[in-house]
Amino acid sequence: MNVRQKPERTRLSAEDWEDAALNLIAEQGVGALAVEALARQLGVTKGSFYWHFRTREALLQAALERWEQYGEREIISQIEAIPDPRERLPELFRRVAHELHPHRVYAALLKALDHPLVVPVMARVSKRRTEFLHTAYSEAGLEAEEALNRARLTYAAYVGFLQLNFTLGLPRLSHEEFDAYVEHMIATLIPA
């Protein structure tokens, strides 16, 4: 903990602040996003911050936009590259299940749904992902109505799982238990 990536990074850019903000959010939540704290962590003072950003909210906004931009790109394209549509969903499940850092941020944002700024971002992201699932289920053979509801159900299960196991450290699943759970999801949610 408390390690600076580069001990002396004599000059900072707005992007540096945004990245640092996202990291801090991932570790301590949106509520902990304070400019003096961030400044300390970056080895500078407020003076620097208020040169790059007009306000604290502006940083949050920028950081969220940044996150929304460079969020899922790769995974989606990787999945779409799989030729057989029926193999895509299981592969998606397993791949997503073994991610970590993206989930941290998403979970942190999930428990910061108080804040008005994060709501629209999360809404957009969730919408896009649900739509992706929707078409995936359609291509896997479900008919329209059913595919949509299954997509909703799947994404809800994903979001809920993050809350229960990430934020609340609820069942504390072992590696094997977790894998078994994922396989159970696949068996239950994906048509044979």
Partner DNA sequence: GCGATTCCATACGGGCGAGTATGGATTGCG
Partner DNA sequence: CGCAATCCATACTCGCCCGTATGGAATCGC
Which residues make up the interface to DNA (CB under 7 A)?
A: 10-13, 33-36, 39, 43-48, 50-52, 54-57
- Residue 30: closest CA among 100, 98, 119: 119
At 17, which helix (H) or strand (E)? helix 14-28
Q: Which is nearer to DNA, 27 or 36 (CB)?
A: 36
52 touches, from DNA, a second copy, none (C-beta below 5 to 8 Å by class): DNA
CB of 22 to a second copy, least distance (A): 16
**SS3 for 113?**
coil
Helices of type H across 43-169: 46-52, 56-69, 73-80, 85-97, 101-110, 118-139, 144-161
Q: Which is nearer to DNA, 44 or 189 (CB)?
A: 44
Six token digits for residue 37: 């704290």
**SS3 for 173?**
coil
What is the radius of gyration, based on Cα positions, of the chain?
19
135 touches, from a second copy, DNA, none (C-beta below 5 to 8 Å by class): none
**Which residues would be at the binding site for a second copy (CB under 8 A)?**
29-31, 110-114, 119, 122-123, 126-127, 130, 145-146, 149-150, 152-153, 155-161, 163-164, 167-171, 180-181, 184-185, 188-189
10 touches, from DNA, a second copy, none (C-beta below 5 to 8 Å by class): DNA
- The answer to whether the beta carbons of residues 20 and 42 sit under 8 Å apart is yes
Q: Which is nearer to DNA, 33 or 133 (CB)?
A: 33
Q: Which is nearer to DNA, 53 or 93 (CB)?
A: 53
